[in-house]
Chains A and B, each alone.
Chain A
C-alpha cells in the first residue's frame, strides 16, 4: 500500500507531470486566465488519462508481448479513438458540457501527457493497479498545475507588466517559478 501511495503522490507532486516531467505543456501554456476553465480541462484530462492507463495495461499484458515494436502505433491509435469516443459520448449525454469543453477535447489527442503516461507506465513496468494510481496522481498534478497557472494569470491580468513580457514570456517564467516551488516536494517519502 505504501508503494501505491508513493506512486500517486510522486506523480502528483514530486514528479509533477507538467512542471517536472514536461508533459501536457500545450494546454498549460494555452490555458486562459480562468480557473473554472482550468478545472474543467483538468477533469477531462484525468478522465482520459485513467482510461488510457487501463487500456495500456491491457495492451501491455496481452497484445504487445508478441509485437513490442508496434507499441507506439497501437497506443496512439487507441488514444485517438478513445478521445473520439469520449467526445461522442459527452455530446450525447450532456450537450452543455460538450459546448463548454469545446476546443479542448480534440486537443487532448495531441496532449503529450496522455501518450506520455502510457509510455512511462510501460517503461516502469507498472501493473494495472499501479498504473491507475499513476494516472490519477498524474492527472491531479496536471490539474493542480493548470489551476495554479490560471489563478496566477488571473491576478497578473491586473498587474502592470512591461510590454515585452506580456504573453508567453511571462507565462514561461511563471512556470519556471512554479517548477522551482514544486522541487520542495522532493524527499517527501524518505525512509
Chain B
C-alpha cells in the first residue's frame, strides 16, 4: 500500500480523512474483523470462566451477610419463589431468574426464625434498595439493611450510617408509622425518622410497608404450610 501521511486525528477534528485508494478487497476487510472478533471472543470467554465463580461466590456471601443481619443470625436460609399463582414454592419452574423471592431463615434447631424480603423504590435522589427481616408469627419487622442507595452524602446517606435509625427497625410492628423526632408516642409501630432526611427515611418505611402489604398473605400461607417445619409458629 502506498505510504500516505494521514492527518493526526485530534479529538474534535471531525473532518473526514482524505480518501484512501481502495486497494484492499472487502473480503480482507471482513476477514480481518472476523478473525479479530473471534480472538477477542475467545479471550473474553476464558477470563469469564475464571472470573464468574468468584463473582457469584462474593454475591452469595453478601446476600448471606445481609440476611444474617436482618434476621438476627440464622444458621441457614432457603430461597422460595413466588409462583405465578401467587404462592411461594421452593422449586416452581426451572428458570427462576424473573420471579419474586423471599429468604426463609432457620436456626440451629431447624426452626424457622423469619423471612427476609428485598424491596426497592425511589428515594430522594435515586432508587433505594434494602432488605428487611419479617416475622410472620408476630407481624413484626426484625431488622433492616440498606443494600444500595445514592442519597445525598451527609444527609440522606444517614439511612445507611445512622445506627440509631437502623436499630429502630428491630422489632417494630407493621405497618410502620414514621414520626418526626419529638412527636413520638412510643407506640409499637413507630419509627423516628432522621432529622434533615425525612424523605429518605420515609422512603425506607414506605418500601417496607409496601412489600409487607403485597406479600403478607402469601407469606402467611407459606409460613403455616407443612413446607416450613414449624413447631408452634415462629419466634
Contact = CB atoms under 8 A, between A and B. Distances in A.
Direct contact of A and B (CB under 8 A): yes
Contacts, number: 44
B206 interface: yes
Interface in B122-148: 122, 124-127
A122 to B, nearest CB: 14
B215 interface: no
A190 B124 contact: yes
Interface in A144-191: 183, 186-187, 189-191
Contact of A103 (B12, B125, B126, B199): B12
A10 interface: yes
Contacts of B199: 187, 190
B206 A103 contact: no
Contacts of A105: 14
B48 interface: yes
Contacts of B30: none
A95 interface: no
Interface in B30-69: 37, 40-41, 44-45, 48
A62 interface: no
A104 B14 contact: yes
B contact residues, range: 20 to 34
Interface in A1-42: 6, 10, 14-15, 26, 30
A133 B61 CA distance: 35
A107 interface: yes
Interface string B1-23: 00000000001111100000000
A101 to B, nearest CB: 9
Contacts of B152: 183, 186
A107 B14 CA distance: 7
Contacts of B206: 191
Contact of A186 (B12, B13, B37, B125): B125
Interface of B: 11-15, 37, 40-41, 44-45, 48, 122, 124-127, 152, 199, 202-203, 206
Given A15-B126, A190-B124, 19 more contacts: A6-B122, A10-B126, A26-B11, A30-B12, A69-B48, A70-B41, A73-B44, A102-B14, A103-B13, A103-B15, A104-B14, A107-B12, A110-B11, A186-B124, A186-B125, A186-B152, A189-B122, A190-B199, A191-B202
